[in-house]
Amino acid sequence: MTLTRMTQVGGKCWSHEDVGRMKSVLVADFSDLMNRNSDEGLHWTSTKTDLIELAHIVWETGELVDEYGRPLSFSDISARICCVLNLTPTPNPWTFYDRVLTRKNIKVRSVLERYLLLYKKGGILDPMRLDIKRQNV
């Protein structure tokens, strides 16, 4: 008998491996994006709340570090990703994250759950890329 560890995200149980894989993809995406420049014309097409939620997920992993090997703060990750994606950085990303925690509409899923659905049901390996567009510069 094979046992699979399950993790609950939103109202659905996902395999621990699927959740870990999606978080690894998000960390890699953020790492790549944070080394880019706003002059490249990249723009975030989803909500700022979704982007801040993703930044929080990445921050929780502790995998993005500065030049001294210290984990980047949630505020640093949020500010940098907003600049690269040509959004006005929010002075307090925790305020936006509070919006994530207080979502009341049953039709609203967490961005992680939506990305897991796109990955598992739609076969989209890197769903965050769907929310980033390049404008002509």
pLDDT in tens, 108-134: 788 999 999 999 999 999 999 999 999
| Percent of the chain clearing pLDDT 70 (strictly above) | 88
Q: State yes or no: pLDDT of 63 exceeds 80.
A: yes
Distance CA 91, CA 89 (A): 6
Instruction: State yes or no: pLDDT of 4 exceeds 70.
Output: no
pLDDT of residue 66: 93
- Write down the pTM of the prediction: 0.86
> What is the pairing mode between strands 12-15 and 42-44?
unpaired
Cα–Cα separations (whole angstroms), residue 106 to 10, 57, 102, 103, 109 = 10, 21, 11, 8, 8
Q: Where are the beta strands (DSSP E) in the chain?
A: 6-9, 12-15, 42-44, 132-134
Mean pLDDT to the nearest integer, 98-116: 81
- Over the chain, what is the mean pLDDT? 89
Number of Cα atoms under 13 Å in the Cβ half of residue 96: 20
Q: How many other C-beta atoms lie within 10 A of the C-beta of residue 48?
A: 18
Provide the percentage of residues in the chain whose pLDDT is more than 90. 69
Cβ contact 84:34 at 8 Å: yes
Tokens of residue 119, six digits: 């990955």
